[in-house]
A and B are shown apart, each in its own frame.
Chain A
Amino acid sequence: MNLQFVFMQLFNGLILGSLYVLLALGLSIIFGMLGIINFAHGAFFMLGAYAAYTITSYIIPDYWLALISVPILMAAFGSLCEIVLFRRLYDLPPLYIMLLTFGLMLVLQDAARLVFGSMGVPFGTPKSLTGMVNLGFMYYPSYRLFLIAVTSCAAFAVWLFLSKTKLGCIIRAGTDNPKMLEALGINISRTMTLVVGLGTGLAGLAGVLAAPIQNVRPLMGMDLLVDCFVVVVIGGMGSLGGSVVGGLIVGQIIAIGVMVWPPMANTLIYLFMAAFLLVRPRGLFGRESFHE
């Protein structure tokens, strides 16, 4: 095993981690606000990839347009789901919204299969990003570097939005204690719409970014979803910093696992999670009595 391979592998862990970060951020803010595990999150990711495919092959063959428009479209779709579906169930235990998202997941996945077929659809690397870049110590595919850059920007933008704007402040407060927010006279339902929209938009962005390096298929989100649960738990439920750190950690665990003990690479994260929770019951940045 040479040093270059180790470096490349750490970068690959970063790629995987980036996708986890985007998905986990969305999963985590939705969890914080609504107190539910959103099973449809993987399906939103899948839908993002299919939306990118539809735009690039039927409307305008431009990856950049898809990169910008798909997250916006998905955010709108998420908000719509919140207004039409989730909102009617807030007076019930969160379990019911969870069942709803489970049903939504099945519906979206099967709808994608019926429309696009179970075999998946072709999606190539955008022309301007093919090839390798010389980083001095190794060559690395330029699209992957681009993916890391976009994810970092997106995560930074989300952080700016949540920490510097008033709206972000409200969301953070709502994640902490939705009841208190309502008591203060803030329109909580509009905030909820925004949060679900933001989470879904991030899942859509992850979908567009993953499409050129993964197989665009109806079930592509399902495998990632369970991994993302692990990310959110390790990071701490409802903590945004936790999602970022957790995503990067899980990405690296898998990458290192592949180097050390390939057949067990995927089992390793569950072992790690179980062990981790025994030491730190609330993950890295989870707070006490938060949705417990």
Chain B
Amino acid sequence: MPRSQFLTLVTFFGLALVFPLVAPYEALATEILIFALLAMSYDLVLGYGGMLSFGHAAFFGIGAYTTGILLIRVFPSVPVALTGAICVSGLAAAFVGYASIRRHGIYFTMVTLAFAQMFYFIAFKWTGLTGGDDGLQGVPRPNIGPIDIHPEINLYYFILALVIVSMFIIVRVVNSPLGATLQALRENRNRAMSVGYNVDRFKLVAFVISGCFAGLAGGLYALLLNMVPLGSLHWTTSGEVVVMNITGGMATLFGPVVGAVSIILLRDIISNYTDAWSLFMGLIFMMAVFGFRDGIVGFFQNKIMPTAAKFLGQVFPKKH
């Protein structure tokens, strides 16, 4: 793992430790954490794999429903439910990925959207299992061994631990041969193919790994809300994840995290002051495109940092 990424991860951890103390409220901090994981998992697909999937909400929602159903009906154990969520979402991602990865460009986007819509309608119609439009209500939060996750703050730190581990794994995946191959594929598909890489298989692996983490994020979401809203499967949730990635900065891993944090935080704060929050969010997205074209993180790295470094360089000249 490159030093810079390791340092960013440590910084993230440090900030995340004190985040609930400064966030508007604790449950919001947890929500932001979950969406940060979701956005980061999607970076594998979009940023590294170069695949604009519009069905990421499917794996998020499937993870949430699996966790909810396992906790309510089968076995009240969080580790079991979350493992289940990861597995089922991974399977769903394998299925969707297998059917769609051979399509390229915009067709890939549309096939993933079509599958996601189908999952949405299945959950909508299968009221007996999912609660339909009323959502899956009454998801419990059983103790994990000696840990009581009922208080929001305990749940936050439990989720933080899982998110840090997940992020560590995602960073490792990106720096593995798989990650390097993916980037080569994204940059020049034909060259990679002529070198002998099985392009589709690499993409599928990335898609499934991403789906697993989206499923984990979904499972955590069900724990946070004590319910699963049907909207978790809706295409607008996929759209939000895409927007988080672009505004934060693609293929930077921590860019999407920054995107998730800023979008959710801003929406929460703006909506306390005006009912026209969606107008302001739209304006912010539009400004984001013009203002910082490489996302928030890119903006800091390319615009602010060089200026700051130059300034610091003048104040503290380097010793030769």
Contact = CB atoms under 8 A, between A and B. Distances in A.
Q: Indicate if A touches B (C-beta under 8 A).
A: yes
Interface of A: 31, 37, 39, 85, 88-89, 92, 95-97, 99-100, 102-111, 114, 226, 229-230, 233, 237, 263-264, 266-267, 270-271, 273-274, 277-278, 281-283, 286, 291-292
Interface of B: 52, 99, 102-107, 109-111, 113-115, 117-118, 121, 125, 235, 239, 242-243, 246-247, 250, 276, 278-279, 281-286, 288-290, 293
9 contacts: A85-B286, A99-B247, A99-B285, A106-B282, A107-B279, A107-B286, A270-B117, A277-B111, A291-B105
A233 B243 CA distance: 22
Contact of B284 (A103, A108, A271, A281): A103
Given A99-B246, A102-B239, A281-B102, A114 B110 contact: no
Q: Which label, helix, strand, loop or mixed, suits the secondary structure of the A interface? A: helix
B118 to A, nearest CB: 5
A226 B113 contact: yes
Given A99-B243, A281-B102, A233 B282 contact: no
Nearest to A290: B105
B279 A110 contact: yes
Contacts of B285: 99-100, 102-103, 106
Contacts of A292: 104-107
Given A88-B290, A110-B282, A281-B102, A37 B109 contact: yes
A95 B106 contact: no
A283 B114 CA distance: 14
Contacts of A103: 281-286, 288-289
Contacts of A286: 107
Given A96-B289, A102-B243, A267-B121, A277 B282 contact: no
A286 B107 CA distance: 10
Nearest to A39: B239
Contacts of A96: 246, 289, 293
A95 B246 contact: yes
A110 B52 CA distance: 27
Q: Which label, helix, strand, loop or mixed, suits the secondary structure of the B interface? A: helix
Nearest to A105: B282
B289 to A, nearest CB: 5
B95 to A, nearest CB: 11
A229 B108 CA distance: 12
A31 B286 contact: no
Contacts of B117: 226, 267, 270
A265 to B, nearest CB: 11
A274 B107 contact: no
Contacts of A109: 278
B99 A274 contact: yes
Give the one of B102, B115, B243, B286 with max A CB within 10 A.
B286
What are the 9 A-B residue pairs with the smallest beta carbon separation, nearest first? Answer: A106-B282, A103-B285, A107-B282, A110-B279, A292-B105, A103-B286, A292-B104, A267-B121, A103-B282
Nearest to A267: B121
Contacts of B111: 273-274, 277
B276 A114 contact: yes
Given A88-B290, A106-B282, A277-B111, 19 more contacts: A31-B106, A103-B283, A103-B284, A103-B286, A105-B282, A107-B279, A107-B282, A264-B125, A267-B118, A270-B118, A271-B118, A273-B110, A274-B111, A277-B107, A277-B110, A282-B107, A286-B107, A292-B105, A292-B106
A37 B242 CA distance: 13
B102 A100 contact: no
B279 A111 contact: yes
B182 to A, nearest CB: 17
Contacts of A97: 289
B289 A99 contact: yes
A37 B106 contact: yes
Nearest to B122: A267
B114 A266 contact: no
B114 A274 contact: yes
A120 B93 CA distance: 39
Given A226-B235, A266-B121, A281 B107 contact: yes
A267 to B, nearest CB: 4
Contacts of A104: 282, 286
B183 to A, nearest CB: 15
Nearest to B287: A103
A226 B103 CA distance: 19
Given A237-B107, A282-B107, A106 B279 contact: yes
B282 A229 contact: no
Give the one of A39, A85, A102, A292 with max B CB within 10 A.
A102
Nearest to A282: B107
A226 to B, nearest CB: 6
Give the one of B104, B246, B282, B290 with max A CB within 10 A.
B282
Contact of A99 (B106, B283, B288): B288
